[in-house]
Chains A and B, each alone.
Chain A
Amino acid sequence: MILHLPGHMPALPPAARSRAALGLTAAAALGRFQLQVCADCGAVQYPPRETCRHCLSDRLPWTDQTGSGELIAETTVHLSQDSYFRERAPWRIGMVRLDAGPTLITHLPAAGAAAPVRVRVTARLDKSGQGVLVAFPIDEVTTMVNDRQLREMICDPKGRKVLVTDGQTAVGQALARQMLAAGATQVWVGHGKSWKKYPGCAELAALPRVAMQPLDLTDSKSVKHVAGAIGDQVDILINNAELHPPLGIAAGKSATRGGIATGNGIDAAQAEMDIHYLGLLRLAHEMGPAMTSRGADGPPGPIAWVNLLSIYALSNFPPQGTFSASKAAALSLSQCLRAEMRPSGVRVINVFPGPIDDEWNQAMPSPKLTPHALAQAVIGALKDGVEDVYPGDVAADWLSRWRDNPKILERELSA
């Protein structure tokens, strides 16, 4: 256990699911709507199950759905047996006949076209972090953040207070600026002792609604101080702190990060772990309880915790071997953090970019992800309510190879 959260937790929607049903959650975590489709007869299944309702095959891979269908009936529940929905009653739900076959029970926008009407069904994560279905009338634009029922399924920065843990990088600055553009009311920008020498910081600090905040993730006291100062105000925490070019830190064996034999020494590896892994742990210890201390107060409250990881966290990239290992450690810790934050309703979002187009990836060939595109992907993840985001072509390519067969990817990367 890495967190000691306060005892009074907010009500959440029912979270229990069968193992089969978690396939819906797994797809929704990536922003996709998938149902099981029989590999033998093609029948689309719902609710999730282990055996085809048509031909009894047990080969039911989760497959992307268009979600088009008709809302055939609806109701507004005024009396719920569940605390979460009772606090939010009345709650509008629908019955959708999917063009692909099954009948679905779905959430609906609180205000929307009445049945019968054509709809598009999507899968989202609810406040419990579990996959649920939402049907949107196709002829209407529904902005989830403005909808009473749907806004808690996403983490839109609009009207929110945000901490970006490292503003001394192009990525951190892009994140801060885009949070402001997305309607954040306050952005704290973490920095080391002397931000003034870092390009871009002065301009950022001059912006309205921005406050520069001394923060050193390698220093427990610094993290504790920040948690005490602003922890109970932060709605969205974005931990983007990364170890930067080994200017004076690395053992001097290489100008770029490297593998075990040819690259960084122990000191550099320790420094990477100190920020990527232990830095996340320090943040979790201090900011986790601080953020969730008002978790039961109802909205507005803390909604998201974003970790900047790396696609190298999935499988080690030997030219950046120790960096990959530290990101893998951070990934593992983030899964623990996610499990422990879930009762508070705070969504932990992991970002897995490929190489970022910054000064210390100069040696990497294109394509690379611009800081701007990375920040956009983070905003998109918050607005869409996804849990894992793999921005850019390289990340998408690695992900598909990894999902196909992690062992093959390992060999490909060691070539």
Chain B
Amino acid sequence: MSETESSRDYADVVLVAPVTLPYTRHSIRTAHWFAAQALSRLVKSSGLTKADIDGMSLGSFTLTPDTAIGLTQHLGISLRWLDHIPLGGASGIVALRRALRAVQAGDAEVVACIGADTNYLDSFRQSLGNFSVFARDAVLPYGSGGPNASFAFLTSYYMREYGATREDFGKLCVAQRENALTYPHALFKKQLTLQEYLDARLIADPLRLFDCVMPCAGAEAFLVMQRRRAEALGLPYVTVRSTSERHNAFPDDPIQMRGGWVQDREHLYSSAGIEPSDVDFLQTYDDYPVMSLIQIEDLGFCAKGEGPEFIRRHSFSADGSFPLNTSGGQLSVGQAGCAAGFLGLVESIRQLSGRNLARPVPEARFAMVAGFGMITYDRGLCSAAAVLGKADT
């Protein structure tokens, strides 16, 4: 593992205007519509005009056959900086990283970071076959269980290796549902009991219904701009203390018991100038509860294999111990394609800039947000993370 050069900090750039387009299970709208509505809300929320936005970073799977460039014509926007980041659950943080540097370097003044995807009745089934060459050749012909099957392998392995129980995963899901009940845009609005979790129908052993995210349609977005611009506009903002991304980490591991965060966490904390104990809340990429465990471990909140014990120790509610996925996470809000990679970021921006929709985390100063994505064969290839800070930190 090579030493990572310390990189320039992000002190002069900030995140503003957290926007969530309420999710729907299925939609007849295109991804273009979701992206457009997100942009419209960014404009309204920031008080800028459409013409003030001169950069855009888009994460989307279902925009196809278009890419971000097609969207500029659809939306009538002229840009001097454009990026399309089809990295699924890592799209948000990777978009953030690119946009921060673009604004710092002066390549753009205001970058709209948007994750937007639609979900037609048949989208999910169709996306499985088109996701990757490896998936088509070496996953789909084996039962066509999709990501559920991939994470079933991981979950069963983790349970055997580290003694996690169904109740441990259930506790996370139930706690996140409690958080979701305070968040108006969550698709799941009913309380979940541990017994309901345990008794739910089998999807892919040992995963049952409430272990699996629900694919849906929606959008998440925020703006990146210079701190002085945000201050001039009077916009509440949050700062970025450090970020990381890592692709295809540990390729020789037989099964993905750790992500690239293990390689980057030291740099992540030292650049941010904080310790794991300084983090006031964590937003994991929770497509399945086992991934939350792995991220809790890999981001240094407990040692590898101590995840189950960690779960038993904490409440995970926004006002309890170790607040986690404070809007309910994907497991309760829904997984809106690439927007899912923005969910934790946007929720953290709201939490740290006093624009809460969900129950606030009291006196929160630092958030850790993780992104994870792109299972092209047997493991998620992208791991990303960002430490966000309150304006005065």
Please judge, given known A-B contacts A95-B378, A105-B139, A130-B141, whether A75 and B129 are in contact too, CB under 8 Å.
no
The number of A-B residue pairs with CB atoms under 8 Å apart is 117
CB pair B204–A77 under 8 Å, yes or no, is yes
Q: Is the CB of A81 within 8 A of B154?
A: no
Do residues B255 and A13 form an inter-chain contact, with CB atoms below 8 A?
no
List chain A residues, Cβ under 8 A from B255: 72-73, 95, 97, 103
- Chain A: interface secondary structure? loop
Asked whether any CB of chain B lies closer than 8 Å to the CB of A132, the reply is yes
Within 8 A of A (CB), among B93-125: 124-125
Closest B residue by C-beta to A17 = B137
- Known A-B contacts A47-B137, A93-B143; the reply to A75 vs B204 at CB < 8 A is yes
Shortest Cβ distance from B389 into chain A, in angstroms? 39
Q: Which of A71-100 contact B (CB under 8 A)?
A: 72-82, 84-85, 90-91, 93, 95, 97
**Of A14, A48, A115, A133, which one neighbours B129 at CB under 8 angstroms?**
A14
Interface residues on B, range: 35 or more
**Known contacts A75-B156, A81-B124: A46-B138 contact under CB 8 Å:** yes
CB contacts under 8 Å to B, within A97-126, are: 97, 103-107, 115-116, 126
Cα–Cα distance between A20 and B133 once the two chains are bound (Å): 10
Are B153 and A73 in touch, CB under 8 angstroms? yes
- Report whether B254 and A97 are in contact in the complex, using a CB–CB cutoff of 8 Å: yes
| Contacts A53-B251, A74-B153 given; does A18 touch B133 at CB 8 Å | yes
From the candidates B129, B142, B202, B203, name the one contacting A106 in the complex (CB within 8 A): B142
Name which of B144-152, B319-327, B360-368 contacts chain A: B144-152
Per the bound structure, the CA–CA distance linking A21 and B140 in Å amounts to: 13
**Is B205 in contact with chain A by the CB < 8 A criterion?**
yes
A85 to B141, CA, bound (A): 9
Quick check: A21 and B138 within 8 Å, CB to CB? yes
CB of A408 closer than 8 Å to a CB of B: no
Tell me whether A93 and B377 are in contact (CB under 8 A).
Answer: no
- Does any Cβ of A come within 8 Å of B134's Cβ? yes
- CA separation between A232 and B157, bound complex, in Å? 47
Establish whether residues B137 and A18, one from each chain, have CB atoms under 8 Å apart when the complex forms.
yes
Given contacts A72-B254, A77-B148, contact A16 B156 (CB under 8 A): no
Complex interface: chain A residues within 8 A of B149 (CB): 75, 77, 93
Q: Is the CB of A18 within 8 A of B204?
A: no
- Of all A-B residue pairs in the complex, the 10 with the closest CB atoms, nearest first, are A82-B144, A75-B152, A77-B145, A21-B137, A47-B138, A73-B153, A77-B143, A97-B254, A91-B143, A73-B157
Measuring CB to CB, which residues of chain B are less than 8 angstroms from any residue of chain A?
124-125, 128-129, 133-134, 136-146, 148-149, 152-154, 156-157, 160, 201-207, 251, 254-255, 377-378
Q: Beyond A73-B157, A95-B255, A106-B142: 18 further Cβ-contacts under 8 Å?
A: A13-B141, A14-B144, A16-B129, A18-B137, A46-B138, A53-B251, A73-B153, A77-B152, A77-B204, A78-B205, A79-B204, A80-B144, A82-B144, A84-B144, A85-B143, A107-B143, A115-B160, A116-B160
